[in-house]
Amino acid sequence: MSAAKPTHDVIAGAPAEAAQSKRGRLIRQEDEIFERIQQAILDHRLPPGTKLKEVPLAELFGVTRGLLRKVLTRLAHARLVEQRPNRGAMVASPSVSESRDLFAARRAIEGAIVGILGTRINATQIKGLRRMIEREQNAYAKGEMRAGLKLSIDFHRVLAQMAGNSVLSGFLEELLTRTPLVILAYRDTRATTTRCDCNDHGAIIDALETGDAEEAARIMQEHLEALEGQLNLREDGSTTDLAAVFGS
Amino acid sequence: MSAAKPTHDVIAGAPAEAAQSKRGRLIRQEDEIFERIQQAILDHRLPPGTKLKEVPLAELFGVTRGLLRKVLTRLAHARLVEQRPNRGAMVASPSVSESRDLFAARRAIEGAIVGILGTRINATQIKGLRRMIEREQNAYAKGEMRAGLKLSIDFHRVLAQMAGNSVLSGFLEELLTRTPLVILAYRDTRATTTRCDCNDHGAIIDALETGDAEEAARIMQEHLEALEGQLNLREDGSTTDLAAVFGS
DNA sequence: GCAAAAAATATTGTCAACAATTTTATCCAG
DNA sequence: CTGGATAAAATTGTTGACAATATTTTTTGC
């Protein structure tokens, strides 16, 4: 069974609670399923291309097919899932150009976020961010990759929230969730790890502390370029040269 | 009837074609309804707060309630519509802080777009943009406000497409559609018109033509600040001081 | 045995009836 | 009249049965 239905094992965690009141809690249930699938993607547990069948997933979460269907539609709108008519939903597989665009968009948005923060961040916030980086480094040092990854993403997310622009942080939230799909699809097989450089995070805070927003934005953009550089985004799948793949 | 069901008259245009093939065209039908409502918002025909009842709208478009419901959900995800449980959908009413964030996000994203364009725009594209500006000016000169407005939005949209970043242009698409809602909600009652300054558009192209991406981005940001400045975004509805409103 | 056709199965898409909730209208006491 | 309870209507939310399509398996002709 474990081998036959891998998707079931992958999207693990506590079972979705049955609705208590007859209505009203149900939208929370919908949100919970959405977030659990989203979290599975963030945790690199759901690779691109994974088929998401309605009946098995609905049974797994203990909801009707109609509700699950709604969740899939929402995930599709967030571009975490691709829905093709009559052929169901699968975890999105970003193309090379999409992936490049995604990183360029992150540079633009996170650059702006850091620029905003340069003028409004306070000592308490800086202290909190430093604590986060410390925990992140500890996690990686202890080999707890999943925890480190989560903290690393949280660093970017918290920066956005501190900037106080709900529109930009909403956009970034989407991009942060899509990033793992890009990494899984295009990670360089030779590289041991594909993740944020903690030192960059520290350097960004250093720049923010001195009030140098320009410098902080510059480091953030270089930081994202470094992450993108760890990937193999050279050629698109559609243009793969089969002759080259099989020698001669 | 016209007075009793204003929403029906507002979302006008050709009736939705009945599906020809049994399936497949149906998703196009869904898209068509989505776009018609979106267009109505872009044209300032659907003001914030307008109630969108499912049965009347479904009949208007000649589709089932279930299909229309799906469209409303999609519109809600694009933040053009607000859905509250058991209370239906209405055209979104952006708050003051949301509106400010929206403009700040536009400055960040369109600044980045123009920055990208500075390095890759060609003579043909510049020629096309100049033609657009000319038509825009003509429309406003002739008093054809709706046509001018459309061309003005198209200018920003086309710039984004020329930059060739699908993620950024997708985000901007959402922001462009939400902008009319902000304008309708917060336009200064004393102002005669609330719209883009065509001259700014021309100045942006001038800067792009000389290859000065920095300057073009600066003008774009000032351009958006000027548009935001035409609005009355001083206080939030939730903090409206009733005592001040009624004198003493 | 193999490829194409056909049947069987599995999966997604749609709809109409029903349930739950909110909104509006009615009624009645004070 | 007014305010509040009650009933009626309108509106949204859900579900399960069925239709349409895609996928897999079996059959058939060579």
Give a yes or no: residue B140 inside a domain: yes
- Chain B nearest C-alpha distance from A163 (Å): 10
CB-count burial class (<10 Å; 0-12, 13-18, 19+) for B68:
buried
On whether both B101 and B84 belong to a single domain, the answer is: no
Give a yes or no: residue A247 inside a domain: no
Of B73, B105, B111, the CB nearest to A167: B105
On whether both B110 and B182 belong to a single domain, the answer is: yes
Q: Kindly tell me if the per-residue pLDDT of B160 is higher than 50.
A: yes
Q: How far apart are CA A146 and CA A148, in angstroms?
A: 5
On whether both A105 and A207 belong to a single domain, the answer is: yes
The secondary structure of B191-231, three-state, reads CCCCCCCHHHHHHHHHHHHCCCHHHHHHHHHHHHHHHHHCE
Our count of domains for chain B comes to: 2
Footprint of strand C on the protein (CB under 7 A): A 21-24, 51-55, 65-66, 69, 83, 85-89; B 23, 26-27, 63-67, 86-87
Q: In what order do the strands lie in the sheet with A51-52?
A: A51-52, A88-91, A81-84
On whether both A12 and A105 belong to a single domain, the answer is: no
On whether both A51 and A170 belong to a single domain, the answer is: no
Average pLDDT, stretch B158-177? 98
Q: Render the burial of B212-238: b for 16+ CB within 10 Å, e for the rest.
A: ebebbbebbbbbbeebbebbebeeeee
Q: Note the pLDDT of residue B58.
A: 97
Of A56, A71, A91, the last residue of a domain is A91
Q: What is the CATH number of the domain that holds B193?
A: 1.20.120.530
Query: What's the pLDDT band for A21 if we cut at 50, 70, 90?
Result: very low
Cβ contacts (< 8 Å) between A109 and chain B: which residues? 108-109
On whether both A118 and A181 belong to a single domain, the answer is: yes
The H or E element that residue A88 is part of is strand A88-91
- Helix (H, G, I), strand (E, B), or coil: what is residue B17? coil
On whether both B176 and B151 belong to a single domain, the answer is: yes
Q: How far apart are CA B196 and CA B217, in angstroms?
A: 16
Give a yes or no: residue B1 inside a domain: no
Nucleotide nearest to B65 (CA to C1'): C15
Q: Note the pLDDT of residue B188.
A: 84
Q: How far apart are CA B73 and CA A71, in angstroms?
A: 11
Give a yes or no: residue B116 inside a domain: yes
Query: What's the pLDDT band for B28 if we cut at 50, 70, 90?
Result: confident
Q: Note the pLDDT of residue B240.
A: 56
Of A70, A91, A112, the last residue of a domain is A91
On whether both B156 and B57 belong to a single domain, the answer is: no
> Which domain, by its residues, includes B125?
96-229
Q: Kindly tell me if the per-residue pLDDT of A25 is higher than 70.
A: no
Q: Kindly tell me if the per-residue pLDDT of A22 is higher than 50.
A: no
On whether both B75 and B176 belong to a single domain, the answer is: no
Of A91, A126, A153, the last residue of a domain is A91
Q: Note the pLDDT of residue A188.
A: 85
Q: Per DSSP, what are the bridge partners of residue A91?
A: A81
Q: What is the mean pLDDT of chain A?
A: 87
Average pLDDT, stretch A129-134? 96
Give a yes or no: residue B6 inside a domain: no
Higher pLDDT, B21 or B223: B223
Task: Give the pLDDT confidence of B170-186 residue by residue, as tens digits.
Answer: 999 999 999 999 999 99
On whether both A102 and A87 belong to a single domain, the answer is: no
Task: Give the pLDDT confidence of A38-91 residue by residue, as tens digits.
Answer: 999 999 999 999 999 999 999 999 999 999 999 999 999 999 999 999 999 999
On whether both B117 and B70 belong to a single domain, the answer is: no
On whether both B196 and B130 belong to a single domain, the answer is: yes
Q: Kindly tell me if the per-residue pLDDT of B156 is higher than 80.
A: yes
Nearest C-alpha neighbor of B116 from the set B205, B225, B208, B199? B208
Query: What's the pLDDT band for A19 if we cut at 50, 70, 90?
Result: very low
Contacts of residue A136, defined as CB under 8 A and 6 or more positions apart, other chains included, come to: A148, A151, A152, A155, A198, A201
Query: What's the pLDDT band for B243 if we cut at 50, 70, 90?
Result: low
What count of CB pairs under 8 Å joins A to B?
72
Average pLDDT, stretch B220-230? 96
